[in-house]
Amino acid sequence: MDGDSTAKKPTLITAIIILAVVIAVIVGYFVWNNFSKTSGEKANEALDKVSQTGTLPTITSSGNPADQLPIVNPAEQTNPFSKTYKNPF
């Protein structure tokens, strides 16, 4: 029985060391990400998050407002005497 406990100790210690290293790497990654960004980058990320949350109103296609305007061709109204006067040249 005493031989079994000595054989399990190295594997237990190895597993604890590997787990500690993995946890340290994960914590270090998140700390490095938060401290490596400048205040401008953090502000841009916050602005992106706010702009994508749906605060803008939805745009509906209510049609073209120019559809109700009368059809007027200004080229036809330039010379009111075009039908009565003929240019000899």
Average pLDDT for runs of 10 along the chain of length 89: 63 92 93 75 79 67 74 70 71
The predicted pLDDT at position 65 comes to 74
> Considering the entire predicted model, what is its pTM?
0.37
User: How far apart are the C-alpha atoms of 80 and 78, rounded to whole Å?
Assistant: 6
The predicted pLDDT at position 11 comes to 87
The predicted pLDDT at position 15 comes to 92
DSSP letters spanning 33-45: HHHHS-HHHHHHH
The predicted pLDDT at position 17 comes to 94
The predicted pLDDT at position 54 comes to 64
